[in-house]
Amino acid sequence: MIEPVQLPAPWRDARLTVVVPTYNEAGNLPVLVERLLALPLPGLKVLVADDNSPDGTGEVADKLAIEHPDRVEVVHRAGKEGLGRAYVDGIGRALDGGAEYVAQMDADLSHPPEALPGMLGALLSTQAGVVIGSRYVPGGQLDEAWPLYRRALSGWANLYVHTLLRVRIRDLTAGFKIWRADALRDIGLDRVQSNGYSFQVEMHYLATKLGHTILEVPIRFEERRDGASKMTTATKIESALMPFKLRSRHRNIEG
């Protein structure tokens, strides 16, 4: 576990909301929230967007919100509609709640919460609209336990999307990042239509088209320790088709 960066005031007091979509993450969520709230970021809040998890994740989230009433919020969604829809809902609520910065991260502990202060510092010290915690820039790492087929799929997906969309981001499918609120408002969540993991690609593509600076910083990506991956065949098909749809859907957007 890395040691979190100590940011100077007023940076450490920034209103940062971490949006965490969940589906069957009852075992991981308490650990993640504990690590997030332990960070030297007193302005950090956690917003859990749960898709009616059958394993009781929503109830676990409610207990965490009771324990930390000013720092944890829960959005209960009707059912499993996909990662993208959960993020659109959660990010929209974070912006409506006054967040200056919004972070995205998975609930499965694959993203190191302790990297967030450094990522926030990188965002605040530059003109970037978003900072990505990247597996594929120098210094980035993948857990040795990550299966070979997952490595191959991730590498192929990034190459495939790079070739079709020509977006200069090494980790195009990354799900760990911090956005400026004004960049998110400029993108417009109503524009985003992806349901699954291709949500990440669509957001990066829109940010690029609109001229926002995107900065990648290295992280170590861990294999999940509890629960199962949510990657399905339908999700893979959507991700494969999405670059073609994005080029058509957003062809008239310019920064």
Q: What is this structure's pTM?
A: 0.89
User: Is residue 165 very low, low, confident or very high in pLDDT (cuts 50, 70, 90)?
Assistant: confident
CA dihedral 205, 185, 87, 241 (to 10 degrees): -30
Give the domain ranges of the chain. Answer: 11-250
Instruction: Give the CA distances from residue 149 to residues 2, 140, 153, 217, 248, in Å, rounded to whole numbers and listed in that order.
Output: 27, 19, 6, 25, 31
Q: Domain 11-250: which CATH class?
A: alpha beta
**Residue range 132-159: mean pLDDT, rounded:** 79
**Integer Cα distance of 138 and 119 in angstroms:** 15
Q: What is the mean pLDDT of the chain?
A: 88
**Integer Cα distance of 197 and 158 in angstroms:** 12
Residues 229-244 pLDDT 10s:
555 555 555 556 666 6
First to last CA, the chain: 39
Residue 32 has pLDDT above 90, yes or no: yes
User: Is residue 132 very low, low, confident or very high in pLDDT (cuts 50, 70, 90)?
Assistant: very high
4: cis peptide before it, omega within 30°? no
Residues 86-121 pLDDT 10s:
999 999 999 999 999 999 999 999 999 999 999 999
Residues 188-223 pLDDT 10s:
999 998 877 788 989 998 999 999 999 999 999 987
**Integer Cα distance of 124 and 129 in angstroms:** 10
**Integer Cα distance of 36 and 53 in angstroms:** 22
Q: How high is the pLDDT of residue 152?
A: 67
Lowest mean pLDDT among 117-121, 144-148, 181-185: 144-148
